[in-house]
Structure 1
């Protein structure tokens, strides 16, 4: 039983912060932001760009791309940020109502910036195991940029974080853009390393002097940096190779790597580990890190540039604070044509 991607969509706010503006806020030289952080500009939210609004706009595009009615959607899964429109709130139900998915149930899940990639595995599992479900919408919106303190050098690695939304329609027995193997790895030793400490249950009710502290912070900077430096690229490599293994492939079969935005050196290191050239991915220097939306944005850009074609093996890979790494392989294009060609080659 195949599960394939029928349609994708993104929403990018029409408001931007340039490298120069980031430099002015952070006091990091503009050339360092461009060359080291790999960032020319990033989208930032306007007043009405709540996470659910951005998700709704992306979902509408994905549904149009899929060529279906929203009434055909059986499940809406929110895979966006935990920083939602309201505290203790379910985004998926709001979105289902707004887009006209009147027959859908919904729930929210999160692995932070890894949510879209791990959500693909959850959606596929639901479709395979539940006879009632045929079509699932994954939808995301992220504005964790609200928590970035540009004056804190300890969290400077987060200055590329922007805002946006994305969505994906997945259908059972759909033989295009078929979802193959996945891999997810976690490391709980990072669980409380980089967090937004104030404004949540551990510090409730919030005090007046804590309002300006609702930002990302790191408790043990040296330990965090050491663990991140020794583990993150290794685990990127592991989940990519494991997802390929489960798909009957190796890294030599990768045609396109749809991955999150991070600093240029880490990006290049990841490509080197997988023996990939830069033309097999898209570096999001014009967008930065738009949370769990990076992979869908990368696929859109890859399709537009011609890097992704019918028959391409696409690997989505991401990472979320906490820490979690995940990868999923997509056989892009007509899956039946692929096997027809393979049989013809054998004959």
Structure 2
């Protein structure tokens, strides 16, 4: 059997606080029926004081370790692939996570690909594991609360109204013999690098002034240009990374059993299903969660397993995208290993 990497365990965390569509109507002045039908938000979770970005990742990590039935001392590397908006600026969340979960033998680092970070993290982890003989177990950990950085009254980022908070984690093991990670694909378009930014707090505008606090949220300098350009490329790039990841796995769209895709507006979700020839019961629309950044795919897999939508031998395709702009896809053959792995 050729070397491969498999998903040994997953974990998730949700805050206690929840905003329903009715709550969001009061906050956004958008009718709740529009939020539900157009934006696809029945509700979303928001952080309380204890729900720091690292805390949410740590709780999810502990759950993933338990799900994988491993001792934390087995973990060789901890990778933080959660949000940049962490407990402190210029701070490593990975070392905090490693300490809190008891991964005393692990080294750690943080990596970032915005909301594509879980899929990129899978690829980075696999590359490390297959290139380094002494790395056999990796813990991916993500906390996400970019909801703090969304102004719910700023209409130009209305596509971010679904953003909520959560944590997720994945334990990966070398030559596990099940839940094998196959092809991974990413594409970026750097022309969007400064199309959606928080205009203060970085070195582009430093030092901060007192009035800058009022502008510490995602903004779009040229809303019309941004919308038109993104609409032109985004679905095309989604389909590219999906097809490319499948090709790398020696598979096609017809092989997809389950789609673990990010949450976005309902019409786009349905359009992607139609394009891929999938039925609604071959995915989970995360309307009761909203968009949780790079955690969406793990929540979708968890929901798919609980509902019996993902079965042994199924081809699961993970799909994400992130501001900046990045589009990402990964393929996992769920269940026991049945055939040689060909990269």
Could you tell me the TM-score, scaled by structure 1's length? 0.96
Matched residue, 1:82: 84
1:196 aligns with 2:193: no
1:45-82 Cα shifts (integer Å, max 9, x gaps):
01010010000000000000000001000000000000
Per-residue deviation, 1:29 = 1.3
C-alpha distance in structure 1 between counterparts of 2:241 and 2:275, whole Å: 12
Per-residue deviation, 1:332 = 0.2
C-alpha distance in structure 1 between counterparts of 2:237 and 2:278, whole Å: 17
C-alpha distance in structure 2 between counterparts of 1:10 and 1:173, whole Å: 24
1:258 aligns with 2:260: yes
Matched residue, 2:149: 147
- 1:96-111 mapped onto 2 (5 Å cutoff): 96-111=98-113
Matched residue, 1:174: 176
Matched residue, 2:14: 12
Matched residue, 1:287: 289
1:58 aligns with 2:54: no
Matched residue, 2:332: 330
Please state whether the residue corresponding to 1:65 is helix, strand or coil: helix
C-alpha distance in structure 1 between counterparts of 2:295 and 2:131, whole Å: 27
Per-residue deviation, 1:28 = 1.0
Matched residue, 1:36: 38
C-alpha distance in structure 1 between counterparts of 2:122 and 2:18, whole Å: 29
1:87-131 Cα shifts (integer Å, max 9, x gaps):
000000010001000000000000011100111000000000011
1:181-220 Cα shifts (integer Å, max 9, x gaps):
1101000011000111112221222111111110010011
1:166-195 Cα shifts (integer Å, max 9, x gaps):
000001111110000110100001100011
Matched residue, 2:229: 227
C-alpha distance in structure 1 between counterparts of 2:12 and 2:243, whole Å: 27
Q: 1:248 aligns with which of 250, 253, 277?
A: 250
Matched residue, 1:210: 212
Per-residue deviation, 1:23 = 1.2
Unaligned runs of 5+ in 1: 341-347
C-alpha distance in structure 1 between counterparts of 2:62 and 2:151, whole Å: 32
1:249-288 Cα shifts (integer Å, max 9, x gaps):
0000000000100000111111112111111100000000
Conserved 8 A contact 1:233-1:269: no
Matched residue, 2:313: 311
Could you tell me the TM-score, scaled by structure 2's length? 0.97
C-alpha distance in structure 2 between counterparts of 1:272 and 1:143, whole Å: 31
Matched residue, 1:68: 70
Per-residue deviation, 1:339 = 3.5
Conserved 8 A contact 1:90-1:108: yes
- 1:126-137 mapped onto 2 (5 Å cutoff): 126-137=128-139
Unaligned runs of 5+ in 2: none
1:165 aligns with 2:182: no
C-alpha distance in structure 2 between counterparts of 1:282 and 1:305, whole Å: 9
C-alpha distance in structure 1 between counterparts of 2:78 and 2:265, whole Å: 33
